[in-house]
A = this chain, B = another copy of it.
Amino acid sequence: MGAVGHEMIKTLEQRKFPVGTLVPLDVAAMAGKTVRYNGADVIVQEAKKGAFVGVDVAIFSAGADASLVLAPVAVAEGAIVVDNSSAWRMDPKVPLVIPEVNPQALDAHNGIIANPNCSTIQMLVALKPIHDAFKIKRVVVSTYQAVSGTGGKAITELTEQAKAFASGKPIVANVYPRQILFNALPQIDVFLDNGYTKEEMKMVNETKKILDPAIEVSPTAVRVAVYRGHSEAINVQTEKPFSIPDVRALLAKAPGIKVMDDPSKLVYPTALDAEGKDETFIGRLRADPTIPNGLNMWVVSDNLRKGAALNAVQIAETLIERKLLK
């Protein structure tokens, strides 16, 4: 089970999600192993046809290929699928949901619900209250993304590179095309024909689907040597004027957000502050005087929590709230 799978089980426990029976599923090779859930060992079963009979909600974090095959199987067997991969996100019949942003999209679901990309989720949690109040026109965003977004192998690679460095041994790169330790790689996921990476275009397209098709996003996605917690430098232009204290107050009372913004006391969020936390942290709020209604801010969240596991579990919670479970 991957990093997000474990985080999902932990999140179900922590939030006391009303689980009748937990059915952990994985590839055949992992079947028979156990995972710890609420103090008991639960046996992992193979994710295959038949495994979803009697399941109400199936939370998937198995990658796009597995999801394309198994999500329809799960739906046919009666489950509602909350899928963490990119497989279904842009399918017009599939709601793409951040519960703080567009919970109403769940009502039109057809069995599969998609969890957005990690870097999109935290950006839109931060942008939603601003958009509602001042109407966002354009966003320029640069990311500082953690290696855990790539998965367990990347976490191991960063640790091995740090240990090799500390002991004076050669640093080996396998997961990433270059050394990630003491470096910043301007590439996340594969390159597309327009010169942007797939990760960057997820931020563009998912923002339009979730928040507003009129919002333009110009992204640069960068991997840094951080384990957990994506940071984003976000430049925003709105249609309506605002004051920074207004924006700060608005964000402070918005769901899922914690404002950490007091430069005089060196208060601002960093990736290490966000590790293991549920909130999207916002700091460095300041006017951008180079355009009308310009704003700069710094947004940090744990990519495995709000960026993946937590958002998926919140979707399941919202299905219950909205009485969408059979």
A residues contacting B by CB (< 8 A) are 138, 140, 142, 144, 158, 162-163, 165-167, 177-179, 181-187, 191, 194-196, 216-218, 220, 222, 224-227, 231, 233, 235, 244, 263-264, 266, 268, 270-273, 283-288, 290-291, 294, 296, 298
Q: Is the CB of B272 within 8 A of A179?
A: yes
Distance of A296 Cα from B195 Cα, bound (Å): 10
A-B contact sample (7 more), CB < 8 A, given A178-B272, A195-B285: A138-B291, A142-B142, A158-B182, A163-B166, A166-B166, A182-B227, A194-B287
Which residue, of A194, A227, A285, has the highest number of chain B Cβ atoms within 10 A?
A194
Main SS of the interface on chain A? mixed
Q: Is the CB of B162 within 8 A of A268?
A: no
Distance of A288 Cα from B195 Cα, bound (Å): 10
Q: Is the CB of A298 within 8 A of B220?
A: yes
Distance of A270 Cα from B195 Cα, bound (Å): 17
What residues of B have a CB within 8 angstroms of the CB of A273 in the complex?
178
- Of all chain B residues, which has the CB nearest A235? B140
Minimum CB–CB distance from A221 to chain B (whole Å) comes to: 9
Q: Contact partner of A287 among B186, B195, B225, B285, CB < 8 A?
A: B195
Q: Is the CB of A186 within 8 A of B142?
A: no
- Of all chain B residues, which has the CB nearest A298? B186
Q: Is the CB of B182 within 8 A of A272?
A: yes
Q: Is the CB of B182 within 8 A of A290?
A: no
- Of all chain B residues, which has the CB nearest A234? B220
What residues of B have a CB within 8 angstroms of the CB of A144 in the complex?
144, 184, 222, 224
